Structure 1
Amino acid sequence: MRIVIIGASGNVGTALLRRLRETRSGDRLVGLVRRPPDPVGEYRGVDWHALDVSGPDAAGELGRHFVGADAVVNLAWGFQPTRNIGYLESVGVGGTAAVLGAAQSAGVGLLVHMSSVGTYAPGRHGEHVDETWARTGVRSSAYSRHKAAAETLIDDHESLLGADAVPVARMRPGFIVQRAAASGLTRYGLPAYLPAHLAPRVPLLPVDRSLCLPLVHADDVADAVVRVIEQGATGPFNLAAEQPLTSDDLAEVLGARAVHIPLPLLGALVGLTWRARLQPVDRGWLDLAYAVPLQDCARARDELGWAPAWAPTEAMADLLDGIAHLAHTGSAPLRRRSVPDLVRRDLTDGLISSRRFS
């Protein structure tokens, strides 16, 4: 098969390349990313091309690479800068529109769209929801609003073209973690001046005790994507570990003592420090973590034969071990996190939460 992967050098993309190499070594892989990595290690055996899905001619450029593709996997998304919502929307929503139009024009066999649990409306505490749950997002989270808007684009496309529309599978994973993404995730989520390897050693965990996260390891997401491609499956699929990650679970993995901070106070602290430019994560991410529903993954299990191999505590321990050891890869999104380099870029290019490209 010829498989085109947009965003192939990021968190999920790196795991997907590993999975494809393990199970489908005969496939022809094309990677479309803004900054192509050196074709070594995890990124060997891929035909890399530089492409920005938010660019003015993105649909035309994508279309040229989509010709003859059996499957296209769209993993492109932006997480920073949190202060430039317009740019994030142009990548997530505008990029989805470009991919969808190009896939339709090129007659792609299957489009795999990486959505998220963030597309869902808030859930009730402890209740699991299936793929029919309302998809209106969490309003205070730009990430969530954009994930919901991207799915609405697909809804409208399918409604307009009916049976002639390109077949689409929508993957809706919980929060995705893995060791290899440690440097990337901490670069986006921690202030530049904080040494990331100290984060897993905190003695106290300030958290509202109601935390209950749908979590999934990147390897399990990659496994589901490969199953969708192999089976030509379409429609939405929830993807999460069988049990959620609770505040007690997180404290145990960290070896820390959880200190209950009510969510309104915690949210005020996050919002204040973000506005003061002391850290790069806005309050919307905290609201999202506490608002998203838990996921019923019966459809992925029954139709794809999928089951997560990683328990949530194991997945989080894998990430934390990566943070402690500054784990990274050779790609631009997952490159090694360096405090001197981050501070230098903050001074020369602006804070990561403000500059256009990070």
Structure 2
Amino acid sequence: MRIVITGASGNVGTALLRRLAGADHELVGVVRRPPKPVGVYENVRWHGLDIASPHAAPDLRQVFDGADAVVHLAWGFQPTRNIDYLSRTGIGGTSAVLEAAHAAGVGQMVHMSSVGTYAAGRYGERVDESWSTYGISTSPYSRHKSAAESLLDEYESENGDGGVVITRMRPGFIVQRLAASGLMRYALPGFVPMLAVPLLPLLPLDRQLCIPLIHADDVADAFARAVERRAAGPFNLAAEPPLRRDDVAKVLGAKSIHVPSGVLGTLVDVSWRARLQPIDRGWIDMAFSVPLLDCARAEAELDWHPQWSSIAALEDVIRGVAQEAHAESPPLRRRSLLEQLHRDLTEGQLTTRRLP
């Protein structure tokens, strides 16, 4: 099969390339900054293309020619103060990918959605794929994921069985060891070394925390199975058990302290507005609003079963943080503290740069 993957050098993209390695597929990667062709990135034909560009659709149309499937992973998490760019990447990019896939006659589009597309109202309870995808209004990430799914709804309504087969993956929060440097760079201020995270003596979190977590390898396996089966529709993806505050504290070796989510959200919002850290309040609101995931459909139709428990997945990424683990791609490579501070001084903070 000829499989085109947008965002192929990121967290899930890197895991998907690992999963597909050795299979008889022609792999094509579409990224803003192509990685060096080494390791898992070696046997991939790379195209440097920003899906947020106004000319993305016609450019993608050429790349998609002859593709059996397009896996759309590309998304933006920073800069959190440039909502316009994040919208052009998430919503505009999805529109461009869908338009190009239709024009090129691609057989299937597998879209990376998220638990973040789901509406609030069932926190700590499981929902299946029929739950509302209205999103969490205070989270730009969640709003954009919801809007992207609306684009897919409109396309399916207009094209019926005559268009591209649409598959929607809705995983929980995704982690892996090799993504540690990338995840920490987006979550920590540039002046805080990631090695400090495993040394935290205290974990100030609301005791009610209960979220779906999943390892990137298990997400990649579900994507591969969906492409192999040309499975359509939405699929929830999460590991067991649901991750709770005390599970996080145990993995970190820290003492948990109850801080109500509302207070935590206010502290995050104030520190974000003061430009002390890069995470906006929407991420806290989402963590304490999204439901848990019923994955029975993926298990039945994809014969998919996660190999990592949520605790093992968290341990894997925390080990990665302690080792400053990274992959050899621009989104995941390690940046030294000096390099991050230099970029903050010369190009602006991560949350305000034109591009992350």
Structural mapping, 1:61-76, within 5 Å: 61-76=59-74
Distance 2:122 2:225 in 1: 30
Structural mapping, 1:251-290, within 5 Å: 251-290=249-288
Distance 2:240 2:51 in 1: 34
* AA in 2 matched with 1:3: I
Choose which of 141, 144, 157 in structure 2 pairs with 1:159.
157
Structural mapping, 1:138-217, within 5 Å: 138-217=136-215
SS at structure 1 position matched to 2:170: strand
Choose which of 85, 89, 93 in structure 2 pairs with 1:95.
93
Distance 2:160 2:123 in 1: 36
2:8 aligned residue: 8
* AA in 1 matched with 2:150: T
**Does the 8 Å contact 1:123/1:294 carry over to 2?**
no
1:340 aligned residue: 338
Alpha-carbon displacement from aligned partner over 1:80-130 (angstroms, at most 9, x marks no partner): 000010100000000000000000010001100000000000142321000
1:42 aligned residue: 40
**Does the 8 Å contact 1:54/1:95 carry over to 2?**
yes
Structural mapping, 1:43-62, within 5 Å: 43-62=41-60
Distance 2:303 2:138 in 1: 35
Choose which of 30, 33, 44 in structure 2 pairs with 1:32.
30
SS at structure 2 position matched to 1:291: coil
Pairwise CA distance, 1:200: 1.2
Distance 1:144 1:307 in 2: 26
Distance 1:43 1:110 in 2: 23
Choose which of 107, 111, 114 in structure 1 pairs with 2:112.
114
Distance 1:335 1:62 in 2: 26
1:351 aligned residue: 349
Distance 1:335 1:357 in 2: 16
% same residue: 61
Alpha-carbon displacement from aligned partner over 1:244-266 (angstroms, at most 9, x marks no partner): 10001001111111000011111
**Does the 8 Å contact 2:209/2:287 carry over to 1?**
yes
SS at structure 1 position matched to 2:28: strand
Aligned positions, number: 356
Alpha-carbon displacement from aligned partner over 1:24-75 (angstroms, at most 9, x marks no partner): 2x11100010000010012110001100001111000100010100110000
2:311 aligned residue: 313
SS at structure 1 position matched to 2:98: helix
Structure 2, unaligned stretches of length 5 or more? none
TM-score in terms of structure 2 length:
0.99
Distance 1:74 1:257 in 2: 39
1:235 aligned residue: 233
* AA in 2 matched with 1:46: V
SS at structure 1 position matched to 2:15: helix
Distance 2:124 2:173 in 1: 16
Pairwise CA distance, 1:271: 0.5
Pairwise CA distance, 1:196: 0.4
Distance 2:114 2:123 in 1: 18
1:330 aligned residue: 328
Pairwise CA distance, 1:18: 0.2
* AA in 2 matched with 1:303: E
Structure 1, unaligned stretches of length 5 or more? none
List structure 1 runs of 4+ shifted beyond 6 angstroms. Answer: none
SS at structure 1 position matched to 2:288: helix
Choose which of 117, 124, 134 in structure 1 pairs with 2:122.
124
Distance 2:3 2:247 in 1: 38
Distance 1:356 1:286 in 2: 24
Is the aligned partner of 1:21 residue 2:34? no
* AA in 1 matched with 2:9: S
Pairwise CA distance, 1:162: 1.3
**Does the 8 Å contact 2:26/2:44 carry over to 1?**
yes
Distance 1:347 1:242 in 2: 42
SS at structure 1 position matched to 2:144: helix
Pairwise CA distance, 1:11: 0.2
**Does the 8 Å contact 2:123/2:290 carry over to 1?**
no
Distance 1:230 1:163 in 2: 19
